[in-house]
Structure 1
Amino acid sequence: MNVRILRHGLLLLLAVLLAACSPDFGLDQHGQKINRSQWEDRWLVINYWAEWCGPCHKEIPELNALAQSEGEIAVWGVNYDHLQGEALRQSAEKMSIRYGVFQSDPATYFSLPVSNVLPATYLIDPHGKVRAHLVGEQTAEAIRQRITALEKDS
């Protein structure tokens, strides 16, 4: 019986240690915890935007369509001005963003290069590798085509 208790204790400790090793992506614009499982085994499109960015306003409906139509692509946004909490939620709502928005910039985790131009979009493959940095307004179709081309190059 003691060996069994010890075994269960070790399994519990291992589970806690593994959970502590998983990256913390913080919260989205609605205050919900972001888990890597939300885009695991899919292409991840990370788009940097701001309310004052004219091309961002034009691009967001395309990203909404991409997020809603493609099972193998997950779309996430990052506010360039580092808005947090209610200010971020209101800004995302004003921009009609229908996909998740990171409250904390994930650039460090994904080793994203800094972009001084907006909008900026990064394509990250299902293995977590940054495959493209797109600058300027994008369309859903252009992103799909770029991902298809990157898959062929793999």
Structure 2
Amino acid sequence: MAKQKNKRRQFSSHRWVVLAAFIAIGAGILCYDMLRPDAYTLQGDKITWQNANKQWRLVNFFAPWCAPCLREIPALNALNSRVTNKVKIYGVSFDPKTATELTTLVDNLDIQFDVIVVDDATVFPMPYPKYLPATYLISPQGKVAASLFGEQTEQTVADALAKQGIGLPSR
């Protein structure tokens, strides 16, 4: 009888160990998902669309073959120099690019704002646009607050920001 009780205790303690292992694995997976950034910039900075620092995000999709996109870049560069810490501007290449190709493209187009490297793990709070130009204003809660399609100017983007209560300093 004593041997059977010991075997039961051993079996019971093994079940607890297995259960604890499954809980630990599940918690690890959950933490990994919660802590993993949504995207990375070309410089390796982490981006999480829903953010605690209450920063708005402006995401502009561009391509070198898109003439209106190319005309937007100087306006976005100018806007990037005016935005406060309440807004961060990101560019996204519409076409798939390696980091090396993207660096060359950014240099050739004189893009002066951060550019997101898109890979299989990249998560956007909006669907990938079907056409260009496409610009999205993302709230600090990670939600799309405005979708701007077609060529944008510094003023049209500033107006979209103003509609969300985000004023920019004068030039």
The two structures share one fold, judged by TM-score above 0.5: yes
Paired AA for residue 133 in structure 2? P
Q: Are the aligned partners of 1:29 and 1:92 in contact in 2 as well (CA < 8 Å)?
A: no
Q: For 1:57, which of 45, 55, 70 is the aligned residue?
A: 70
Matched, 1:144 2:158: yes
Aligned match of 1:70: 83
Counterparts of 1:69-108 in structure 2, within 5 Å, are 69-71=82-84, 72-104=86-118, 108=123
Counterparts of 1:1-154 in structure 2, within 5 Å, are 18=31, 21-30=34-43, 32-36=44-48, 40-71=53-84, 72-104=86-118, 108-110=123-125, 112-151=126-165
- Deviation of the 1:144 alpha carbon: 1.6
Partner deviation per Cα, 1:96-148 (whole Å, 9 max, x = no partner): 111111112687441x1332221100011122110111111111221121122
TM-score under structure 1 length normalisation: 0.75
Q: Are the aligned partners of 1:85 and 1:103 in contact in 2 as well (CA < 8 Å)?
A: yes
Q: Are the aligned partners of 1:122 and 1:133 in contact in 2 as well (CA < 8 Å)?
A: yes
Number of matched pairs:
136
Residue identity over aligned pairs, in percent, reads: 30
Unaligned runs of 5+ in 2: 1-26, 167-171
Q: Mean alpha-carbon deviation: is it higher for 140-149 or for 52-61?
A: 140-149
Paired AA for residue 139 in structure 2? D
- SS of the residue 1:27 aligns to: strand
TM-score under structure 2 length normalisation: 0.68
Structure number with larger C-alpha Rg: 2
Unaligned runs of 5+ in 1: 1-13
The change in CA–CA distance for 1:84 and 1:25 in structure 2 (over 3 A counts) is farther
